[in-house]
């Protein structure tokens, strides 16, 4: 957190300097296989990437939270969403780690509803 200093002229606290406006500041951007690298490079700082799908319930539930994060941290974070069905190349290196329906070997099993539940 930036320190507030006092103005020599007025003795009143000064507000910290604002960081320059970031590309897409305050809104969630979308990216595809074709423009992902360009969008990340243009962000000019930290980027949170959400790999999501229209059929993914948890992904849809997380969407409003990402919207809030994009606004709250607009001066220091860029949020980019990628629909993995439309842009499969971006998520391919993760080999299913982004897919909430993918079976895992970490004490979880696939449920009939399509989600993942803890064993036990």
Query: For position 113, what pLDDT does the model report?
Result: 42
pTM flag (> 0.85): no
Q: Any idea of the CA torsion for 92, 106, 104, 112, to the nearest 10 degrees?
A: -140
Query: For position 12, what pLDDT does the model report?
Result: 65
Active-site residue list: 56, 59
Query: For position 92, what pLDDT does the model report?
Result: 81
Residue 101 CA to residue 117 CA, distance in Å, equals 10
The CA–CA distances, whole Å, from 22 to 38, 41, 74 equal 14, 12, 7
Query: For position 50, what pLDDT does the model report?
Result: 93
Query: For position 90, what pLDDT does the model report?
Result: 87
Contact status, residue 51 vs residue 82, Cβ threshold 8 Å:
yes
Query: For position 23, what pLDDT does the model report?
Result: 54
Per-residue pLDDT reduced to its tens digit, 63-78 = 999 999 999 999 999 9
Query: For position 103, what pLDDT does the model report?
Result: 43
**Regions of the chain short of the pLDDT cut 50:** 1-4, 15-21, 98, 102-120
Residue 52 CA to residue 84 CA, distance in Å, equals 6
């Amino acid at each position: 957190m930036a320190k507030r200093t006092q103005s020599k002229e007025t003795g009143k606290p000064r507000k910290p300097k604002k960081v320059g406006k970031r590309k897409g500041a305050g809104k969630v951007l979308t990216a595809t296989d074709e423009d992902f690298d360009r969008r990340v490079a243009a962000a000019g700082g930290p980027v949170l990437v959400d790999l999501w799908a229209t059929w993914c319930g948890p992904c849809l539930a997380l969407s409003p939270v990402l919207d809030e994060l994009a606004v709250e941290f607009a001066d220091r974070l860029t949020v980019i969403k990628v629909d993995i069905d439309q842009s499969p190349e971006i998520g391919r290196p993760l080999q299913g780690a982004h897919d909430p329906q993918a079976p895992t070997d970490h004490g979880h099993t696939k449920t009939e509803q399509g989600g993942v539940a803890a064993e036990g």
